[in-house]
């Protein structure tokens, strides 16, 4: 019982790592199984298909985004709300393995393009971004405000390892807030 949860979770973890490092298509179930020390067939006991492993990962992220969205929808559309949204988004990103999952998304866009869970996630992300923008805003403003979210991600892939994580996060937030203020 403990074991099941453990194996399932371990599959997810190893899969996430390998998918992110090598790509979804370039990672075979054999590799995942070998890294785990089990047979390929064992993976199929825990997940119906290779796709299902990915889905289970994507769902974790989807839930986080949906919760954020649910919260946002109950707030007034003020600048302070937007700033708080950015703050919460960053909190998510730096907790759990969300940054890794996002990187997995970024790096496997084509492989995931037609995945149902991804479609939903994309939609929700768009709704989130819509939240950053006032209807009628000029195009440049829309771009700038949307890029606020992007800044949080960029902070961890543009600034590389020499900068400590905490500083990266702070820089991301600073630039994001900057972009928000027109």
Which residues of this protein are in contact with DNA, per CB under 7 A? 1, 3-4, 7, 25, 27-31, 38-42, 44-46, 48-51
Residue nearer to DNA on the CB measure, 36 or 175: 36
Question: What burial class does residue 62 get, using C-beta atoms within 10 Å of its C-beta: 0-12 exposed, 13-18 middle, 19+ buried?
Answer: buried
34 binds a second copy (CB under 8 A): no
178 binds a second copy (CB under 8 A): yes
Q: How far apart are CA 91 and CA 117, in angstroms?
A: 23
Return the axis-axis angle of helices 50-73 and 116-130, rounded to nearest 10°. Answer: 20
Q: What's the N-to-C CA distance of the chain in angstroms?
A: 54
The secondary structure of residue 159, as a DSSP letter, is S
Backbone phi and psi for residue 65, each to the nearest 5 degrees, phi listed first: -65, -40
Find the shortest distance in angstroms from Cβ 74 to a second copy: 26
108 binds a second copy (CB under 8 A): yes
Touching a second copy, residues 6-25 (CB under 8 A): 20-23, 25
Find the shortest distance in angstroms from Cβ 123 to a second copy: 13
Which positions touch a second copy (CB under 8 A)? Answer: 20-23, 25-26, 106-111, 129, 138-140, 142-144, 146-147, 150-151, 154-155, 158-159, 163, 167-168, 170-172, 174-175, 178-179
């Amino acid at each position: 019982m403990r074991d099941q949860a453990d194996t399932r979770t371990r599959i997810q973890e190893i899969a996430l790592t390998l998918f992110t490092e090598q790509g979804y298509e370039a990672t075979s179930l054999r590799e995942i199984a070998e890294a785990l020390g089990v047979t390929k067939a064992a993976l199929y006991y825990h997940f119906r298909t290779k796709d299902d492993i990915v889905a289970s990962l994507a769902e974790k992220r989807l839930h986080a985004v949906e919760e954020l969205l649910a919260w946002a929808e109950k707030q007034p559309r003020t600048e302070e709300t937007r700033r708080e949204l950015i703050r919460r988004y960053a909190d998510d990103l730096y907790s759990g393995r969300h940054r890794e999952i996002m990187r997995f998304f970024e790096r496997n866009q084509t492989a995931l393009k037609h995945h149902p869970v991804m479609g939903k996630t994309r939609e929700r992300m768009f709704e989130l971004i819509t939240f950053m923008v006032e209807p009628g805003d000029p195009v440049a403003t829309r771009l700038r405000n949307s890029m606020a979210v992007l800044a949080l991600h960029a902070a961890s892939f543009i600034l590389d390892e020499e900068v400590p994580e905490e500083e990266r996060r702070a820089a991301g937030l600073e630039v994001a807030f900057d972009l928000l203020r027109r």
